[in-house]
Chain A
Amino acid sequence: MRIPCPHCGDRSHDEFSYGGAADRRRPTTADFGPEWLDYVYLRDNPAGLHRELWYHGSGCRCWLIVERNTLSHAITAVHAVLPASSPAMEDA
């Protein structure tokens, strides 16, 4: 499997580390309960399109969001978690 990094180009997946599903959100409650149990331990196992995090540790050292089909490994979209550097960000 090769991942097209928006900074580095097409690279073998062994340059990356998998970071789990991209859209999981940390529970806001401080009390341990079903929400935290779900967040910490339970994983979906979708057959098909999956949005997931990958870290390009041997390349640009950036986190990426990759849309991958778990049945075919076809990758349909990749973008950096942080927007690309631009002087326009200066005032943000």
Chain B
Amino acid sequence: MPDTALLPRSVLHDRLRPGRQGAATGPAGVVIREKTGLTLAAVAALRGRDGAVIAALTALFGVSPPTRLRLVRDEGLAVIGTGPGQWLIAVDPMPDGSRDLRHGDLTTTLRDRLGGLAAVTDQSDAWVVFDLAGARVRDLLARCVAIDLDPRRFEPGDVALTRAGPLDVRLWHGPKPGRYTLSCFRSYGAYLARWLTDSALPFGLELVETR
């Protein structure tokens, strides 16, 4: 039997120059790191089944899924509200980069638990996800998205579905204050990365190499 397993590879592989760039004095104002190796699954409750889906997800993960555009995190797992009756489940990779299999194959497990209640789709290789940090991170985001980023309005744990120029993006804050996660569909990942890295140059950029 030939081994047909496909290895996921970052869309940024060989496309961007990692390291310290732009304004060179002082520490980098913005640190950008691509998050790879995430396991992602989308859950959309069938009409009128929201309550049952919330109960099933709570039983499975031990955290109660947000009913607004918020996220909850628990030990390497995030449940992200992405609209009424819709959630994205994100599981961090293991420290060695391999998939965290504590819930088995995530999509299969969710389909087993949510049969007849929700539509479940594997999204693991569908999104490019950037971790954004640094003292000037909100100045960088202000160049990309037209939402109020003041932490009193966009609090840690808040999620926004919006636009960055022509792209639909998902942005969430934290839960650690001042840390943001920005994602878009994979095929636009290189475009968004170029925009982010160019926009970050005046603040001093540290682009962390993607494995």
What is A's interface to B at a CB cutoff of 8 Å?
Answer: 7-12, 14-15, 57-62, 80, 82, 84-90, 92
Contacts and interface: CB of A to CB of B under 8 A. Distances in A.
B80 to A, nearest CB: 13
Given A8-B69, A9-B147, A85 B163 contact: no
Given A7-B84, A60-B83, A85-B67, 6 more contacts: A9-B147, A12-B163, A62-B84, A85-B85, A89-B51, A90-B49
Contacts of B85: 85
Contacts of A61: 83, 161
Instruction: Name A's interface SS.
Output: loop
Q: Is the interface of B mostly helix, strand, loop or mixed?
A: mixed
15 contacts: A7-B69, A8-B161, A10-B148, A11-B147, A15-B163, A58-B162, A59-B83, A59-B162, A61-B83, A82-B84, A84-B84, A85-B84, A85-B85, A87-B54, A88-B51
Contacts of A86: 50-51
Contacts of A82: 84
A79 B49 CA distance: 21
A39 to B, nearest CB: 26
